[in-house]
Amino acid sequence: MLERTLIILKPDTVKRKLCGKIISIFEDAGFNIVETKMITPSRELVERHYPNNNKWYVAVGNKSISNFAEQGVDIVKVMGTDDALTIGKTIKGWLVDYMTSGPVMAMVLEGNNAIKNVRKMCGNTIPSIADPSTIRGRFSLDSSDVANAEHRPVHNLIHASGEIDEAKYEISLWFGSENA
């Protein structure tokens, strides 16, 4: 099934001059670039990009709680709380700060089952446990324990839409509804 998905090469990717290498990986896999732009996004854009609802905050918070538990780290000592909702809101703030800290490259990719296949190519959102054959596993060195200790999000190089409705929303947000 032919789909479109949004990817964002985050500030760490742009700073490390990895955009060309990562774009080549997608092109080599047969994806077409429908549209692209380099932008330093506004806080408003990034705040709209990440959901603003308790379900999302709790999911993000619970993921962090699990990561802390796996590492044997006391989440209350690092985050000041073990409340998933509060942790999720804190992480969203970190994401907004990070994504607005410098230029990003936003792209619409099109191809067969693009959403699922692009996410598979990106790898686990925690680079330290991503398969070495994925983009994050190959190019990122960050880990959640270091990021949390530094009170920032994991620098994982790339955002990729997770499902069809999310892709449509994100493409419309970043490029206008005619590209969704």
pLDDT in tens, 27-53: 999 999 999 999 999 999 999 999 999
pLDDT band at 70 (very low <50, low <70, confident <90, very high): confident
Sheet of 158-160, strand order: 32-39, 104-112, 2-9, 158-160
Asked whether residue 177 carries a pLDDT value surpassing 80, the answer given is no
For 127, other C-beta atoms within 10 Å of its C-beta total: 23
Query: What count of Cα atoms within 13 Å lies in the side-chain half-sphere of residue 90?
Result: 19
Residue of 49, 151, 155, 159 marked catalytic: 159
- Reply yes or no on whether 159 is catalytic: yes
- Residues near 116 by beta carbon (within 8 Å), at least 6 away in sequence: none
